[in-house]
Structure 1
Amino acid sequence: MAKNPGTAGAFDIRTIIGLLFGIYAVVLIAVGATAGAEDVVKTDGININLWVGIGMLVFAAALVGWARLRPIAVPDGDEAHES
């Protein structure tokens, strides 16, 4: 009888890294949104904190989406001892 294997879920490394990137992205977006004109001048007219934060947020969403769409199957304890 075949059983459905469990998944790594919250312990999948893609989820953990995605959440960390998401937290850092939110911080960078907040810093970039409140940046003054002096900070933007330092980076040659580009609000680098805002753009990097948006890029990191997209990357975090891609990692978490990938982990949800293609979960890692974890074998049961019985199957792990058989091999």
Structure 2
Amino acid sequence: MQQLDVRLPMGLLFLTLGLILVGYGVMADPAIYAKHSLGQNVNLTWGVIFALFGGLMLWLKSRSKES
């Protein structure tokens, strides 16, 4: 019986969502963040965190013996 390695779909999901958030954070009007989130670009911040986590999952998958 073959088991599903969740690192691949999880890594792809978080990397994709992270890149979307980074793109939105870069292209959004900075005035929005000054009014609503104490001046911090939360889309950019969390996009980078999501993308790094997704990249980590994909890197761990590539290091596995069964790939």
TM-score bracket for this pair, using the shorter chain length: 0.7 to 0.9
Contact 1:12 1:72 survives alignment (8 Å): no
Aligned partner (choices 14, 21, 30) of residue 7 of structure 2: 14
Q: How far apart, in 2, do the equivalents of 1:55 and 1:66 lie?
A: 16
Show CA shifts across 1:1-43 (max 9, x none). Answer: xxxxxx97xx521010100111111110111001112221111
Q: What's the TM-score, normalizing by structure 2? A: 0.83
| More helix as a share of residues | 2
Q: What's the TM-score, normalizing by structure 1? A: 0.68
* Identical-pair percentage: 23
The count of aligned residue pairs is: 65
**Greater Rg over alpha carbons, structure:** 1
Give the root-mean-square deviation of aligned CA atoms: 2.1
Show CA shifts across 1:16-72 (max 9, x none). Answer: 010011111111011100111222111101111001000111100100111111244
The letter for the 1-side match of 2:28 is: A
| More strand as a share of residues | 1
For structure 2, the residue ranges without an aligned partner over 5 or more in a row are: none
Runs of 4+ in 1 over 3 A off after TM superposition: none
For structure 1, the residue ranges without an aligned partner over 5 or more in a row are: 1-6, 74-83
